[in-house]
Amino acid sequence: DTISYTLTVVIPRGSNQTISITDTLDSGLNPLVYQTRDSRDTATYTTDVSKAGRVIVRAFDSSGEPITDFTVSTVTNQVFTIDMTSNQVSAHVGETITFEYDAIVNGEAGLSPIQENTAKLTYGSRYETQEHTVSSVTRNLTINKNDGTNPLVGAQFEIRRDNVNNDPIRLALLTDATT
């Protein structure tokens, strides 16, 4: 399973300090990273952090155009950073920058059904936001719909939350027993 993360940074007018986003992944998550060979990024991607280089991060400005003027560190102990120098920050004053990356649920996720990802932003050398944590729940769920005896092939239904809006729950299909 792949979990996608989005970090949004609003760069206020007059900003000219460095920005550093520190992201800490749960041990049940491996970020999708570039595999390095001879200190150069290749087109090979892996989740094996011991053989990997930088986390693959996509970034977009307020208009949705890709940006590349940032750096990403190598993952160390499930932690990596996204950095922008003061010149890079100044080039995006007044914009909202969106950073996106993916993580793959690994074998350790089975030990804990909740995978947490924590991020915080450091602005300059004196300001730091509180850490923000998001949780993803991974569980095995087998659903068999039948008429009491026989499976109902092609049956469709929704599982909904028991809340005010009765929102549907989004699930990912890992295997389909009918095929």
Q: What is the pLDDT of residues 36-72, one digit of tens each?
A: 444 444 444 555 555 555 678 889 999 999 888 888 8
Long-range contacts of 24-27 (CB under 8 A, 24+ apart): 24/78, 24/79, 24/117, 24/118, 24/119, 25/75, 25/78, 25/79, 25/103, 25/117, 26/78, 26/109, 26/112, 26/115, 26/116, 26/117, 27/78, 27/108
pLDDT at 41: 43
List, for residues 69-122, the tens digit of each pLDDT value: 888 887 778 888 899 998 998 999 999 999 998 887 776 665 566 778 889 988
pLDDT at 16: 80
pLDDT(6) > 70: yes
List, for residues 139-170, the tens digit of each pLDDT value: 666 777 888 888 888 887 777 767 667 777 76
Q: Say what the pTM is.
A: 0.68
**Mean pLDDT calculated for residue range 11-24:** 86
- Residue pair 155/145 in contact (Cβ under 8 Å)? The answer is yes
- Show the tokens assigned to 26: 């749960």
Query: pLDDT confidence of 31, banded at 50, 70, 90?
Result: confident
- The region that residue 152 occupies, defined by phi over 0 for left and psi between -120 and 50 for alpha, beta otherwise, is beta
Phi, psi of 86 (to 5 degrees): -60, -35
pLDDT at 176: 55
